[in-house]
Amino acid sequence: MSEPLWDKEVFIGKLREVGANSYHDKHPFHLLMNEGRLSPEAIRGWVANRFYYQINIPIKDAAILSNCPLRDVRREWIHRIVEHDGTQGEEGGIEAWLRLGEACGVARADLLDSRHVVPAVRFAVDAYVNFAHTQPWPVAVASSLTELFAPDLMAKRLEAFQTYYPWVQPWGFDYFNRRLTHARKDSDSALRLTLAHCHTPELQRAAVQALVFKCNLLWAVLDGIAGKYIET
């Protein structure tokens, strides 16, 4: 006998429980960052490695679109690609992160050629893109629900940079400011799609595990960065 379908509130509760237990805001690297205890080299290393994640977000979202047969969903999800890639005359998230790099003293060319990306980060991010290619699209959408927890993290990050890292030029904080509002909008959309289309017990369980996978992936990214830039 199969397990029963969770009702909406139970399903949301299980998704939020994943974030409460596993989101990378609890990673030691983030704790050090928010306490102002990272060196300029570590901050620059984080910015350079995280850029590899940023440039793969629209590729991941394109993979989700390629697996989705529903026009209405594709029309809703495609804005994420535009949001990161930008359009002619409209700066997107990738350009905003390049400006963050420049504000930290990392040359644009150094970000674009991925010369500072450590193997663990590359492996984790590539695994995320592959996940989006190979999983049912509603499950891949559910993996994006780390956005539910991102606004609070972004607010703390912005405060930490402004307080503890005055050598970072403030004009580089546009990405952080944008995500304070965009993450809430994006998470509302992803949650609504997850609730509507993960409509079997199997898909619901897969959605929760997709979110666990994403949290583990983000944790692994920080493990890789910490291993390179923090002395133990």
Q: What is the CATH number of the domain that holds 220?
A: 1.20.910.10
Count of structural domains, the chain: 1
31-68 pLDDT, tens digit each: 999 999 999 999 999 999 999 999 999 999 999 999 99
DSSP state of 172: G
| Any domain includes 3 | no
| Any domain includes 101 | yes
100-119 pLDDT, tens digit each: 999 999 999 999 999 999 99
| Any domain includes 103 | yes
Rounded Cα–Cα distance for residues 48 and 103 (Å) = 12
| The two three-digit tokens of residue 80, written as one number | 């994420």
46, 51, 87, 171, 229 from 96: Cα distances, Å: 15, 10, 13, 10, 24
Burial, 117: exposed, middle or buried (Cβ in 10 Å; 0-12, 13-18, 19+)?
A: buried
| Any domain includes 93 | yes
Q: What is the pLDDT of residue 135?
A: 98
| Any domain includes 15 | yes
| Any domain includes 65 | yes
157-192 pLDDT, tens digit each: 999 999 999 999 999 999 999 888 887 889 999 999
DSSP state of 190: H
Task: Tell me the residue type at 88.
Answer: Q
Residue span of the structural domain in which 24 resides: 8-229
